[in-house]
A and B are shown apart, each in its own frame.
Chain A
Amino acid sequence: MAEVRIRVASVGMFGMLLVATGVFLGGGSAVGEIVDPVGVLLWAIVIAVAHLLDVPTPSGHRINLGIGPAVAASILLAEPLDVAVAYSVGMALAWIVVQLRTSRLGRRDGDFLAETVAMAAYGLTFFWVLDAVSEDFQGGWEHLVSLAAAGTVWFLVRAIVSALVGLERADLSPRYLWLLALEDWTVVVALISAGGLFALSWPVLKLWAFPLALVPYGFSHVAFERYDSTRITYSQTIRALAQIPEVAGLAPIGHSYRTQDLAMAMAKELGLHPSEVTWLEYASMLHDVGRITLNEPAIIKAGYTDEDIARWGSQIVAEAPYLDHVSELVAQQYQPYRTPGTERDPDVPIASKIIKVASAYDQGVNEMGLSPIEALERIHQGSAYEYDPKIAASLRRVLIHRGIVAA
């Protein structure tokens, strides 16, 4: 249902925005007053194509290249009406192609809404600032100042709208989506620079402007592809490490994967910072890696506690310098929320408490043979002492959203 609502809302708003942008930027002028119709059509096509290409970003998501040519067009077309029409036609073309290519109801509509609103905001800010500063700045600096201001507005508006569109999805906190969108600032700087560099150097350098504009984007593309491989390397390696106790028969098969899945859902639902979500992704996967030591006869004879498993696991993880924080999360996961008669320890990271709840729930369902509602009840009974009540409540919401437990 939520997906359908996004779609209906976005299609309506999309159409309205197209009209509004054109009318507002053009000041009510007629289409016949377009100064450079060929240029407008050309830029519309470039914007549409760039919108259909997307690249990985530092946040682990993908961003489309549309803003690059949009920036260049705002400088080179120069007339507000031309620019508004090029943006509208470009976005419309891209939207049509997306609709033709995919029939499923995706999140693309929500993204499109965010993109359109942000691009309109860019155009408005650009010409408004340009008007204000063109007497004080010359030699291209007036364009630079305007595109820097407009680029910032574009970035913030896009982040806000992405977060608001995400409101329709009950399982994702808007705070999480907003912070996630902000993480992409480096790739946005590279894209806006590419557009600005091209537009400002084209009148003088002509064809040389192409390689020049490709440089900042090319470098960041290389960087982000590698950041992406880094992420893949971590997740693949961590998954393999976490599975070793499982294949060795020292931990139930699939427990670490299921714990991770549930923990991630709760973290996003609670609105943790995206970097904390990434650490949690690794820590929840590795929370039982300390079980590797469990085929040591001396250990089994002497007995061990959850705290021991957590400590051994965190020592193994600590060996990777980058994963220091993950090691800390693994070490703290056994901590009860509050022991009777004491104040609760405020230093236990929320991610560790999430792991504790996710792991206990999965244990209840998959090892103790409880039904989901029984396992959830068990967590609720233990909350306030063993488990953090806020996280127990989040677990309930996640399970309801997934349709595992009735509301």
Chain B
Amino acid sequence: MSRGLSQILPTTKHRFAVGFAGAGIATLALLWLVQEPPQPWWLWAAFAAAYAVFSWRSVEVNDRLRGSPGAMVTMTAAVVFGPGAGILAAASMAAFGLLTPEDVTGRRWFQPAVNFGQLVLSNAASAVVLAGFLWLADGPAPGWTLSAGRLWIVVAGSAIAALVQGIVNFRLVAFIVDRVYGQKMTKPWSHLIQINLGTVAMGFLGGLLGAAYLLVGSVMLPFIFIVFFTGYMAFESFAMLRLAQESTLKGFIKALEAKDLYTRGHTERVAMYSEMIGREMGFNGTRLERLRWAALIHDVGKLAVPRELIRKRGRLDEHEYDVMKRHVHLVEDLLDHIEFLHPMVQIAANHHAHYDGRGYHGAGHGPGETPSVEACIIAVADSFDAMTTTRSYRVAMSQRYALEELRRHAGTQFDPEVVEAFIAAIERSGRNFGSVLELTDEEARKMAEEGVAAMREADQVHGRDFPVAPLERREHSHG
């Protein structure tokens, strides 16, 4: 499994691109001198092609970690070409993972250069380890030969070598991220173990396939490539499932936006803020993703609520409140039947609950309970966005004022830890999300009066096309 950099800042990226690409080329040149060229060349080309396809279509497993069965291909090739040519064969393949079609169309050159270098280095390191095991497995006959009795040495060796590849790869990427981003790439052990287990399994299979070729003969080749193909399908299916989940989710959000103009962009901003807070609090992997998705659906209950109620100024009366609550529950019940959304719905349903146990609780949560950290995060993100954007009842607040407001309610309405994490994350990002006008609440309220009047007018002018308009102006939907 290999990981790539998604973005490099312009200041240091030249240095890193040149350094890594240079190290990669130097390694290949050195190997060219000490190793024999892989024979037959067409077999090497076929392996390289399979490796390239895997790298191009690597799948984002979660949170910037990309996985592909590439380790299986390099290990197969390193065994097939033996200790004399295998290191060169495995390392030179990395050159083919270097440019993706997206890089070419997007004219991105630095990321491929860095990835080329780190892939050559990690592939070479693992092939050297494997070569050691291959020598160990060498039979008594002249030249390098493999006997069935020593197969286990090859298989164990390639599993260990794949692990080396994974570790070197991770270390190099962590080094680059540290130096270029100034960001520590911390992953919990459980996560690393899970990923490295996958890498070890790929190495094991790769070694077994290579050894089968050596011991049984060339008839194994079609099978080897069929195995590569099925491995590719297994990873591709992962991507398909994610696409299915993500795209159906987007359908819901669009439906929500179609209903209410003010929701437009709101869900995406709340998701962004929630992700910032989550990262700051050390969430990663599945937990971070779950948080983002919960944020994306946090308002989905409004889908069935009559629009007059959503846009109503001031407090809802008892009857209106009941209607609202019933409809929100109905939609949450519907969504709860979607398996993958279940944990997200549980979080989202509770985002109006207060830290101290007061406030409105969702289905399955009783009053008095402290809501989950995730629900608290979405509550903070939701309130911050509500304050910093223009609503029907007032104009946007400045960021500074909104953050003060969050701090003032920390401990009662909001989880103080979450609020502090959010403030730290915003400071770190150096961005300003609120209105550039520094207004007090009083001034803001006054300006809002005028804004609402203007919007009412617009409402009547646009007539029936009004709610559909945001669907057609998609390019502006990011807030």
Decide whether A and B assemble into one complex. yes
Residues of A participating in the B interface, judged by any CB pair closer than 8 Å: 139-141, 143-144, 186, 189-190, 193, 196-197, 200-201, 204-206, 208, 211-212, 215-217, 219-220, 222-224, 226-227, 229-230, 232-234, 236-241, 243-244, 247-248, 289, 292-293, 295-299, 301-304, 311-312, 315-317, 319-323
Tell me which residues across on chain B come within 8 A of A312, comparing CB atoms: 258, 468, 471
User: When A and B form their complex, which 5 residue pairs have the shortest distance between CB atoms, in order from nearest?
Assistant: A140-B219, A302-B464, A320-B247, A248-B304, A219-B230
With a cutoff of 8 Å between Cβ atoms, the chain B residues found around residue A139 in the complex are: 217-219
Is the CB–CB distance between A186 and B243 below 8 Å? no
Segment of B110-118, B232-240, B355-363, B447-455 engaged in the interface with chain A: B232-240
Q: List 7 A-B contacts (CB under 8 A).
A: A141-B218, A197-B220, A205-B215, A215-B205, A226-B238, A240-B334, A296-B466
Q: Inside 8 A of A320's CB, which chain B residues have their CB?
A: 247-248, 250-251
Q: Complex: how many Å from CA A299 to CA B254?
A: 18
- The docked-state distance in angstroms from the alpha carbon of A240 to that of B338 is 8
Q: Let me know if A233 and B250 touch, CB within 8 A.
A: no
B231 at the interface (CB under 8 A from A): yes
B29 → chain A closest CB, angstroms? 35
Contact A315:B338 (CB < 8 A) given known A244-B303, A297-B308, A320-B247: no
Q: Report the separation of the CA atoms of residues A320 and B151 in the bound assembly, to the nearest whole angstrom.
A: 49
Q: Is B109 an interface residue (CB 8 A)?
A: no
* Cα-based distance from A232 to B468 in the complex (angstroms): 30
Interchain CB contact under 8 A, B251 and A241: yes
- Choose among B307, B334, B339 the residue that contacts A244 (Cβ–Cβ < 8 A): B334
Interchain CB contact under 8 A, B248 and A237: yes
B334 touches A216 (CB 8 A): no
Contacts A144-B222, A236-B337 given; indicate if A298 touches B251 (C-beta within 8 A).
no
Contacts of B249 in A (CB 8 A): 237
Residue among B151, B339, B464 making CB contact with A299, cutoff 8 Å: B464
CB of B209 within 8 Å of the partner chain: yes
Are B331's CB and A292's CB within 8 A? no
B248 interface neighbour in A238, A298, A304, Cβ under 8 Å: A238
Nearest CB of chain A from residue B441's CB, rounded to whole Å: 31
Which chain B residues numbered 331 to 348 have a C-beta less than 8 Å away from chain A?
A: 331, 334-335, 337-341
Bound-state CA distance A204–B146 (Å) is 12
Do the beta carbons of B217 and A212 come within 8 Å of each other?
Answer: no
B230 CB contacts on chain A under 8 angstroms? 190, 193, 215-217, 219-220, 223
* Inter-subunit contact B243/A243 (CB<8 Å): no
Q: How far is the CA of A217 from the CA of B229 in the complex (A)?
A: 11
Q: Which of A189, A223, A233, A244 contacts B340 (CB 8 A)?
A: A233
Known: A205-B148, A244-B255, A302-B464. A216 touches B307 (CB 8 A): no
Given contacts A197-B223, A236-B337, A244-B334, contact A316 B212 (CB under 8 A): no
Which residue of the partner chain B has the closest CB to A299? B464
In the complex, what distance in Å separates the CA atom of A320 from the CA atom of B246? 8
Instruction: Name B248's closest neighbour in chain A (CB-CB).
Output: A237
Are the CB atoms of A237 and B251 closer together than 8 Å? yes
Q: With contacts A222-B234, A237-B248, A320-B247 known, is A293 near B258, CB below 8 A?
A: yes
* B467 lies within 8 A of A141 (CB): no
Beta-carbon contacts of B467-479 to A below 8 Å, as 1s and 0s?
1100110000000
CB distance from A306 to the nearest CB of B (A): 15
Contact A223:B236 (CB < 8 A) given known A244-B334, A248-B304, A323-B251: yes
